[in-house]
Amino acid sequence: MNKTVTINISGIIFNIDEGAFDKLQGYLHSIKQKFGNTQGGEEILIDIEARIAEIFHEKVTDRKQVIALFDVEEVIAIMGQPEQFEDGDAEANASNNAKEEQSYYEPERKGPKRFFRDPDSKILGGVSSGIAHYFGVDPVIIRLLFVAVVFFGGSGVIIYLILWAITPEAKTTSEKLQMKGQKVDIDSIRQSVGEEADHLKKKFSHLGKKADQFGRKMDAGKVQGFLGTFLNFIFSIVKLILTFIGKFFGIILIIFGGLFLLSLVASLFGLANVNGLSHIAWNYNSFSIKEVYDFLFLTNYQRIAITIGIGLAAGIPILSMLYAGLKILFNIQSPSKGIGAGVTLAWFAGIVLLLVTGLQIGNEFSKEDKVVSEFSLPPWVADTIYITADDSHYPVDAVPYEDNEDFFILKSYEDELYMTSVELDVRENNSDSISISVIQEARGKTYEEAIERAENIEYSYSITDNSIKFNPYFILRRADLYRKQSVKIRVSIPVGKTVYLDKTSGWLIYDITNTTSTRDKYMLGKYWTMTERGLECQHMDMSKEGIRSRKKERRVQPSSKPVTPTLKNTPKTTKQQADTTTTAVITPAEEHEMQPLFPTPFTIIT
């Protein structure tokens, strides 16, 4: 195993192979011999070391902590050998003339550009000249744009101050070359240092000529100095405010990231209770995510795959949010490119896993079918029927119709789910009797599976005299799994009959058509008569006689043990969506005008 050496290059510590160290040391020694005694030689060496440290830092990852010989050889290939360049004022002058002839419109593009503030040609903070270098335009154009934005009511000053605060200044020769899009090697660094030295010479040569003008410009200098001091003070205030906002934003990211991560872990491992997929506070009918998994997934593989997929697809962005907050708050150094690539790959794998498993589960919902059960009441039934709903399983403070969407799953047991996907509609019946149709729908991988699941839905309602109480839920067995089962109820009444929608029926009525286009919510607690045009609301007589008459008409009897009537089944129809029709025939009671509609209350179970 090769020995490693710890070195410090431009203030950064690296571990390097002994052979690579010898190679690098010889390379730096040759550069020092070449430029050590030249004008600006020390600055050239500092910039070259800074560039080498930058390249080495990009190569260090969690898996690779030691700089190898081929890394040093790659650096030498990028930077170039010092023997390739000749000394001489002629070459320097030619290079400088070429640089001076170069314009902002046609910059030399040999390397990637980075956005810095230009300290050499700045007026205030060097933002405009930095933008000009980045886009290859004249800085005057950028300055005019900022001025135009200010005069036309924009926020040019704010934008400028923000850019001033967040954009680093190009301090080293390497950064200045990157700002101009020039390749950073020995030649470009040497030329840049030479240009700066010539620029300083010219400035010093003009100092003598301007000495006699110093007195006359003293006042202007004071004004300019005051303006600079004032702007620097404003800049410091803005920078302080932006820093505070950044730290506060980091705290927000940490708080929300922690909450999201806690919720995700609790959900994935069945630690969280959810109520109706909405109201967590109602623990009366809470259930865990694990219980939902048991009724949704066919195999353990699907459960594991979905859990891992959600953990990666949702967990990685949440962890990234947490890391961003910590980085802002504590100035944590960015991870290596290898870690970022690995995290991105893991997130992509989670997305793929979700898609594949989702397609498998989606195939279980591809076919839809239904089963229909019908029950007919005799034509001599009372003119008014009362529709109610069994709300005994709902919390006391729950409001019918308004809170319907809060209860997708009403209750959960080990092998049963109480689902609330029940909808009731009232329509016109062309015959002289009232009929009740219960349509049970389900999905499956095949039509046969869909029909079987639809038949296995457990739904019931009860009839007592002229009052019909519907369950606003149906029971789903665990063995059938959830495959979008639902129940639709259609109550058909003849023209001239009246229906009263009790407040509790708000748990199941859905989009009932009427002549006044009244919303379902406002149909509750009213009498609706079927006419040839549709349902019409009747104005109720609130006198004592009217109330007494309606009570007599309703004739609700005390509940007793339900008796299930005999149902006569009709053969199934054969088609892609097969229907099963069940018809109940009831023999009229003697002297039905004075006696209850049915001698004993009974329950119909579909």
Q: Is the CA virtual torsion 389, 413, 456, 422 positive or negative? A: positive
Return d(Cα 60, Cα 337) in angstroms, integer: 9
Among the listed residues 117, 120, 125, the one whose alpha carbon sits nearest the alpha carbon of residue 235: 125
Domain ranges of the chain: 4-83, 127-211, 251-362, 365-537
Per the DSSP assignment, residues forming a β-bridge with 66 are 15
CA distances from 410 to 286, 471, 606 (A): 9, 12, 20
Q: Where are the alpha helices (DSSP H) in 167-299?
A: 173-180, 186-211, 218-268, 289-296
CA distances from 286 to 272, 278, 409, 480 (A): 9, 10, 9, 21
- Residue 287 has a pLDDT of 56
Tokens 């260090």, residue located: 60
| Cβ neighbours of 483 (radius 10 Å) | 22
- Residue 33 has a pLDDT of 78
Cβ atoms of 112 and 131 within 8 Å: the answer is no
Q: What is the pLDDT of residues 145-203, one digit of tens each?
A: 877 776 665 566 677 777 777 788 877 776 777 777 776 665 666 566 556 555 545 55
CA distances from 474 to 293, 439, 480 (A): 19, 12, 13
Cβ atoms of 119 and 168 within 8 Å: the answer is no
Phi first, then psi, for residue 39 (nearest 5°) are: -65, 125
Token digits of residue 116: 């810095």
Tell how far CA 295 is from the center of its chain: 26
Token digits of residue 186: 């020995």
Which class for 330: exposed (0-12), middle (13-18), buried (19 or more C-beta within 10 A)? exposed
The 422-428 sheet, strands edge to edge: 367-376, 435-444, 486-493, 422-428
Return d(Cα 438, Cα 455) in angstroms, integer: 11
H or E element that contains 460: strand 460-464
Helices (H) and strands (E) in the chain, counts: 15, 21
Residues of the chain predicted below pLDDT 70:
1-2, 36-37, 39-41, 83-112, 150-157, 174, 183-228, 269-292, 334-337, 403-407, 412, 539-606
Return d(Cα 178, Cα 182) in angstroms, integer: 6
Token digits of residue 9: 């290059």
pTM of the entire structure? Answer: 0.49
Tell how far CA 211 is from the center of its chain: 65
Q: What is the pLDDT of residues 222-260, one digit of tens each?
A: 545 566 677 777 877 887 888 888 888 888 988 888 888
Tokens 């995290």, residue located: 343
Return d(Cα 485, Cα 381) in angstroms, integer: 33
Cβ atoms of 196 and 40 within 8 Å: the answer is yes
- Residue 420 has a pLDDT of 83
Residues 13-22 as b or e (16 or more Cβ within 10 Å = b): ebebbeebbe
- The Cα angle at residue 471 between residues 470 and 477, in degrees rounded to 5: 140
Per the DSSP assignment, residues forming a β-bridge with 443 are 368
